[in-house]
Chains A and B, each alone.
Chain A
Amino acid sequence: MDFSKLLEGNTWGILMKGLWVTLEVAVIAIILSFIIGIVLGILRYSKLPVLSQLATLYIEIVRNIPLLVVIFFAFNTLLDKLDSLVMIVIFGMTVFTSALIAEIVRSGLNSVPIGQIEAARAQGMSYIQTLIHIILPQALKRMIPPLVGQFVTLIKDTSLAAAITLPELLHEAKLIYSNPSYVNATIPILLLVAVIYFVVNYSLSLLSRQLEKKLAG
């Protein structure tokens, strides 16, 4: 094991570039997943005929398939339609994560007591009005911690895209230790990569806890 290699050459610079790609992909994917996930979650909750069932089908199928399979699927069948490797990964992650967020949204919606909804309806509010003014504001508040959790998961899962050579953090690390003079530094480099992921994700988790406290208070 050779820890000195970590300080040599551009190891740190290369890893930081990789981290940047990781964060870029994760941020775009979480935003898209959030938007699509909210729509899917509301559709499933809504009990609108057909649409509700379709949303349920989508959610149940997608969240029960490994993300790696979704990514390979996108790579092998959509590369000629989407423009780049980054797009493929964002697409795969959005398809997958939106189903998980839809479930977060649904359980957030379900957590609003039925009494409140009945009261709102009794006062003459329409279904949509009740949804927008009564249910969603409360549900969104409860959804924040699991959403941050999902974002952390996304950052971790971006490492799966190393398998299709997306130049994210883990992939760049692998390219470093594939090199002649760095083979002895494999374990130190993997450790460093783990620490980088940890620092980013743990900070996010702490942030989420702070938010949670603020919202509860």
Chain B
Amino acid sequence: MRLKKWAIVALSIVTAVSLAACSSDKGTATDAKGVGFKEKIEKRGKFIAGVKFDSNLFGFKDPADQTVKGFEVDLMKEFTKRTFGDVNMLELKEVTSKTREKMLTSGEIDVIAATMTITPKRKETADFSRVYFLAGQALLVKKGSPIKDVKDLNGKQVGTAKGAVSGKNLKAINKDAVVKEYSNYAEAFQALRSGIIDAVTTDDGILAGMAKQDPNYEVIGNRFSKEPYGVAVDKKNKDLLEAMNKFLDATMQDGTYNQLYKKWFGQDAPKDLPKDAVLELQPGVEG
């Protein structure tokens, strides 16, 4: 007879699962109308930021103390401190170029601060804060490699990450390059170090982080794109976007931004950071 009970339990689970799959939202849409994000997050007790866990300088997990560190992590810490008064309210979740948009739109995370280039296409799915970092796409190669520029990539294998724009950009500039997309940049770099591919391409900031890991590698050539990074916020949370913009402006004025920039990149932050920009492929590199 016990089996009958089992069957009932199992059937109810099947029903529950299918019902859960059918009912369409977790109620976030209705929340957003009445209650502001601040109350919502204070009620939840956590502000959840999606950051990279594998990108040196921007967001990486340090095995020594198991914490996540980096420029973007520090920015999010500062935001949490200033907005909610308690840095411990910040929860960091890992995202990759492949997973970040889905994590945001599904409500898994509140913001993305993960080397995310603002593009017109991405603006359709999420709102972006003001630009907080300006990168340019470049190449990372082994020192002494015959590859000096994008032109030299004909038939060469170039690694990048899934979900990133870098592969498409490169193809647009040199269609004879062979693009290989990995789960994340760390794996692409690993493949370069193993000699499987000839170069890694993505934003210079990320590449600089890799070159710092291993002095046998260097960032070369002209930057062939302009990649402005913004903090992505779900379109439902306009007030959060506003708060993020205010915060970024304030830190840029009071010197906190420059201090963090210097801490991670060893130089002063650029003074002419645009407020609003989108990805631009640099013309003229082609020739």
Give the distance in Å from the alpha carbon of A162 to the alpha carbon of B106 in the complex. Answer: 19
Whether, in the assembled complex, B102 has its beta carbon less than 8 Å from a beta carbon of chain A, the answer is yes
Whether, in the assembled complex, B26 has its beta carbon less than 8 Å from a beta carbon of chain A, the answer is yes
Measured CB to CB, the closest approach of chain A to B146, in angstroms, equals 24
Measured CB to CB, the closest approach of chain B to A178, in angstroms, equals 3
Of the 9-residue stretches A76-84, A119-127, A147-155, A192-200, which lies at the interface with chain B? A76-84
Residue of A79, A84, A182 with most chain B CB atoms under a 10 A cut-off: A79
Measured CB to CB, the closest approach of chain A to B133, in angstroms, equals 20
Whether, in the assembled complex, A159 has its beta carbon less than 8 Å from a beta carbon of chain B, the answer is no
Q: Report if A79-B102 is in contact (Cβ < 8 Å); known contacts: A10-B65, A39-B11.
A: yes
Whether, in the assembled complex, B274 has its beta carbon less than 8 Å from a beta carbon of chain A, the answer is no
Contact residues of A: prevailing secondary structure: helix
Nearest-neighbor residue (CB-CB) of A17 within chain B: B66
Q: Report if A180-B7 is in contact (Cβ < 8 Å); known contacts: A14-B63, A165-B99, A174-B187.
A: no
Q: Report if A132-B66 is in contact (Cβ < 8 Å); known contacts: A38-B10, A165-B94.
A: no
B62 contacts across to A, CB distance below 8 A: 179
Contact assessment for A80 and B107 in the assembled complex, using a CB-CB cutoff below 8 Å: yes
B64 contacts across to A, CB distance below 8 A: 9-10
Give the distance in Å from the alpha carbon of A83 to the alpha carbon of B64 in the complex. Answer: 31
Contact assessment for B102 and A182 in the assembled complex, using a CB-CB cutoff below 8 Å: no
Whether, in the assembled complex, A36 has its beta carbon less than 8 Å from a beta carbon of chain B, the answer is yes
Whether, in the assembled complex, A186 has its beta carbon less than 8 Å from a beta carbon of chain B, the answer is yes
Tell me how many residues of B have a C-beta within 8 Å of chain A.
48
Whether, in the assembled complex, A175 has its beta carbon less than 8 Å from a beta carbon of chain B, the answer is yes
Give the distance in Å from the alpha carbon of A82 to the alpha carbon of B226 in the complex. Answer: 37
Contact assessment for A183 and B23 in the assembled complex, using a CB-CB cutoff below 8 Å: no
Give the distance in Å from the alpha carbon of A133 to the alpha carbon of B11 in the complex. Answer: 21
Q: Report if A80-B96 is in contact (Cβ < 8 Å); known contacts: A132-B3, A178-B186, A179-B60.
A: no
Whether, in the assembled complex, B103 has its beta carbon less than 8 Å from a beta carbon of chain A, the answer is yes
Q: Report if A75-B20 is in contact (Cβ < 8 Å); known contacts: A179-B62, A182-B63.
A: no
Contact assessment for A79 and B106 in the assembled complex, using a CB-CB cutoff below 8 Å: yes
Whether, in the assembled complex, A32 has its beta carbon less than 8 Å from a beta carbon of chain B, the answer is yes
Contact assessment for A14 and B66 in the assembled complex, using a CB-CB cutoff below 8 Å: yes
* Selected A-B contacts with CB under 8 Å, 19 pairs: A9-B64, A35-B13, A38-B10, A42-B7, A76-B102, A79-B106, A79-B108, A80-B106, A132-B3, A162-B183, A165-B53, A174-B54, A175-B61, A176-B63, A177-B186, A178-B53, A178-B190, A179-B62, A186-B190
